Amino acid sequence: MKRVSVLHAALVTSASLLLLAGAASTASGSESHYVGSKACEKCHDEVWEPFQSNAHHMAELDGALVGDRTGCESCHGPGSQHVEADGNEEDPGFATMNNFKKMKPDEAAAVCQTCHKTGEQFYWDQSAHARNAVMCQSCHSIHGAKSEGQSKLLSKERTAELCISCHRDKQAALEHTAHMPLREGAMSCADCHNPHGSVGPHMIKAASNTELCVTCHMDKRGPFLYEHPPVRENCVTCHLPHGSNNDKVLAGKRPYLCQRCHIGARHPSTLYDVPDLSLSGANKVVNRSCTNCHSQIHGSNHPSGELFIR
């Protein structure tokens, strides 16, 4: 019992010393405190002006949205020592605020996640962008957004323009004759992908490619009485979603696309299997397409639709 009492007294004494040290440190002014956003205007006028129409500034005006600390110091930290340095970079207090240009990606993301932790940002830590050390500031321009209407505070005018700055292979795909309507601005990459992460592959906004595709292509949605296995499993087995030089963004020209799986079909597989092009069987190969007859290739509910003809 005596040993326990001595240990307890030592812990109390240590805690008291720490509290006194903290109080003395605060009293001596060695810790920064909040001074308000207005103090930033003097030196950072190039940032201050565009920030007035920023969504973060709107949150500052309505402090109930983000708690008791709003404005510049919500992200950059308390600025009293930085303000007292008055632009003198030799002063130790000058570097006491968060400088996102010098921070590591995970450190910068942690600051953003103090507010943006739920909704679309819920899976950020497991996302491909986070794993590849992509900073929030790589896509977002916090002080002066360039996106239309400052939507999402993007650093480019359009989402697609921003994405293809890194995803060059997708830019090439969008230049094909058949492509997603991204090039014309009818949709954006974020309509299908969540750049902050998701439970699906390639950060798509669904658990699978098929589930995502049928959110728009409802006529292809099952269940069907007769289902075409590739359709059920993955739409991108036959389609290249970003772009293709084949119609309907197909991964290959018909009938050769179909023959990737149906090599041993009842019809001649290649021209070399046809002894005489005048035969009716050659019509299945020359100037014809499998879907001319198998028109319900995505699935059929007809009692006689086993071959997707009806």
Which residues of the chain register pLDDT less than 50? 1-28, 283
In this prediction, residue 166 carries a pLDDT of 94
Q: How would you classify the pairing of strands 299-300 and 226-227?
A: antiparallel
- Using CA atoms, how far residue 80 sits from 73, 95, 99, in Å, is 10, 11, 15
In this prediction, residue 48 carries a pLDDT of 86
pTM: 0.78
In this prediction, residue 30 carries a pLDDT of 67
In this prediction, residue 64 carries a pLDDT of 59
Domain ranges of the chain: 222-300
In this prediction, residue 56 carries a pLDDT of 80
Listing DSSP states for 226-262 in one string gives EE-HHHHH-GGGTB-TTEESSGGGBSS-TTTTGGGT-
In this prediction, residue 28 carries a pLDDT of 39
In this prediction, residue 49 carries a pLDDT of 84
Tell me the sheet residues that pair with 193: 204
In this prediction, residue 287 carries a pLDDT of 55
pLDDT digits (tens, 9 = 90+) for 168-184: 999 999 999 999 999 88
Tell me the sheet residues that pair with 221: none
